Amino acid sequence: MSFQATFKALSDPTRRAILDLLKDGAKTAGEIGSSFEMTGATVSHHLSVLREAGLINDERRGKFICYELNLSVLDEITGWVAGLKGADPHEK
Partner DNA sequence: GGAATATTTAGACAATTTTCTAAATGTACT
Partner DNA sequence: AGTACATTTAGAAAATTGTCTAAATATTCC
CA distance 92 to 88: 10
In the bound state with DNA, the residue whose beta carbon lies nearer, of 12 and 20, is 12
Say if CB 77 and CB 7 are below 8 A apart: yes
Binding string, residues 23-62; x marks residues near its own copies by CB under 8 A:
xxx-------------------------------------
Task: Decide if residue 17 touches its own copies (CB under 8 A).
Answer: no
Contacts with its own copies by CB under 8 A: the residue count is 26
Alpha-helix residue ranges (DSSP H) falling in the chain:
3-10, 13-22, 29-33, 40-52, 74-82
Report the 10 Å Cβ neighbour count for 1: 12
Q: Which stretch binds its own copies (CB under 8 A): 26-34, 36-44, 58-66, 72-80?
A: 72-80
Q: Is 5 exposed, middle or buried (0-12, 13-18, 19+ CB in 10 A)?
A: middle
What does the binding site for its own copies look like in residue numbers (CB under 8 A)?
Answer: 4, 7-8, 10-11, 13, 16, 19-20, 23-25, 69, 71, 74, 77-78, 80-81, 83-86, 88, 91-92
